[in-house]
Amino acid sequence: MTNQTTSNASTPDVLVVGAGVVGLACAWSALREGLTVTIVDRDFDGDRASHGNAGGIAASESTPISVPGLFLKATKWMLDPLGPLSLDWRHVPSALPWFIEFRRASNLDRFRQISLALAALNNRVYDDLIPLFEDVGAMSTFYRRGAITLYETDKAFRADATEWKLKQELGVRWRALNQREVQELEPALAPVFKHGVFLEDWSHIGDPRQLVSQIRTRVKALGARLVQGVVAGLDANDRDTPSAVLNTGATIAARQIVVAAGAWSASLAESIGDTVLLESERGYNTTLPQPGVGLSREVIFAERKFVATPLDIGIRIGGAAEFAGLKAQPNYKRSEALLELGKRFLPGIQDHGAVQWMGHRPATPDSLPVIGKSPSAAAVIYAFGHGHLGLTQSATTGALVADLLVNRTPGTPLGAYSIERFRK
């Protein structure tokens, strides 16, 4: 692995900024097109959102997070310091434009538009993911067992009925479960769930960190060059060979640049004049390596806004949304609160050797990723802002980015995902 740029290195066809699962998927797709690729990242082995996610391939999540009525609920949640949503009041001034747009996304017409755009990506997820998994050797830890969304009350189940109907119209395959059926599918659950929804097309992987390592190993084998460094900005003055400027002052030039730096992507876009509303939606989890109970598939606790996934490395209990920026210290009391919920609904679960984690989900207010060419510099392509769906949409994003890199009409129209939607 190279630690600094060298002036005599040949100019690559593509420079990918960011080595999370989205950036690596973009690199993999570019390499498969026969392009030469360099990847730059601050720490290839270090922790990232791609390592600590819940492991779900959430192809069923084709509606935005800002569902109608959520904004009022969110206001109440913030009164609980360890509830599903937390906002650091010191972060409010910078986050306010994001939250204004988040509320607008729940407008019924806009909500449907966003849902159609999410479905356009999610309905092709497996067509793109499976070839990647096969190539990197990940199929043995890829589990297509569906998932269950759980409801404790009739009221909560009825409240989501309209959204489930829309998802069905968008191509999501699901079926309702009664209390007995929930218990038969997942006996380890406490018998308190009156309703469930079985999601046919949800799946999960055994170890998110291992998957990232497998893809990274494969792209290296295919010829990618890895450069360790912190990208401080982009320089697109030379339209034929734009460059990434490192915090050391060194530069890395390429014929095209893909920005896939997750929650850190906004400042890179702004360095060449593109504005985006992007927040770090900080998520927490606890992984229990010896849980003492078993689950067959991911379970989503609808009213409590958390999930539990049976990974190969233990059961991972995660969720929460904390808005405190990129620099605030983690508040692991949130991991502890999620674990307590897990113990309530998975009786007998053991927490010996529990590992806590916090990561930065790159969230846009409309739940749509930013995919497409920069309007300010045609040689710069964006691939970030996937929120909760980075793993899910990684290979699809890589395939669409590859279309752009080789001047092929993208397999899915990209207008809905353009960074230009944030221009005012």
120 and 59 in contact (C-beta within 8 Å)? no
Handedness of CA 160, 170, 300, 74 (dihedral sign): negative
pLDDT at 2: 42
- Report long-range pairs for 305-309 (Cβ below 8 Å, ≥24 apart): 305/84, 305/85, 306/84, 306/338, 306/341, 306/342, 307/54, 307/56, 308/342, 308/345, 308/346, 309/54, 309/55, 309/56, 309/204
* Domain extent at residue 176: 67-100+145-201+278-363
Q: What angle do CA 139, 201, 173 make, to 5 degrees?
A: 165
pTM: 0.95
pLDDT at 87: 85
- Confirm whether 162 is domain-assigned: yes
Give the model confidence (pLDDT) of 171-187 as tens digits.
999 999 999 999 999 99
pLDDT at 4: 41
Give the model confidence (pLDDT) of 244-273 as tens digits.
999 999 999 999 999 999 999 999 999 999
- Confirm whether 71 is domain-assigned: yes
From first to last of the 424 residues of the chain, give the pLDDT tens digit.
444 443 345 899 999 999 999 999 999 999 999 999 999 999 998 888 889 999 999 999 999 998 887 766 766 666 666 777 788 889 989 999 999 999 999 999 999 999 999 999 999 999 999 999 999 999 999 999 999 999 999 999 999 999 999 999 999 999 999 999 999 999 999 999 999 999 999 999 999 999 999 999 999 999 999 999 999 999 999 888 999 999 999 999 999 999 999 999 999 999 999 999 999 999 999 999 999 999 999 999 999 999 999 999 999 999 989 999 999 999 999 999 999 999 999 999 999 999 999 999 999 999 999 999 999 999 999 999 999 999 999 999 999 999 999 999 999 999 999 999 998 6
pLDDT at 89: 85
Measured distance CA(268)–CA(22) in Å, rounded: 16
pLDDT at 53: 93
Q: In what order do the strands lie in the sheet with 256-259?
A: 225-228, 37-41, 14-17, 256-259, 380-384, 370-373
Measured distance CA(201)–CA(216) in Å, rounded: 26
How close are the terminal C-alpha atoms of the chain, in Å? 42
- Confirm whether 298 is domain-assigned: yes
Handedness of CA 103, 106, 110, 113 (dihedral sign): positive
- Helices within 186-281 (DSSP H only): 208-221, 265-270
- Confirm whether 172 is domain-assigned: yes
pLDDT at 304: 92
- Confirm whether 75 is domain-assigned: yes
* Residue 118, CA distances (Å) to 63, 213, 216, 276 in order: 7, 27, 27, 18
- Confirm whether 320 is domain-assigned: yes
- Confirm whether 223 is domain-assigned: no
Q: Look at the chain and report how many structural domains it folds into.
A: 1
pLDDT at 3: 40
- Confirm whether 389 is domain-assigned: no
Q: In what order do the strands lie in the sheet with 231-235?
A: 231-235, 243-246, 251-253
CATH of the domain at 308: 3.30.9.10
Handedness of CA 143, 214, 394, 364 (dihedral sign): positive
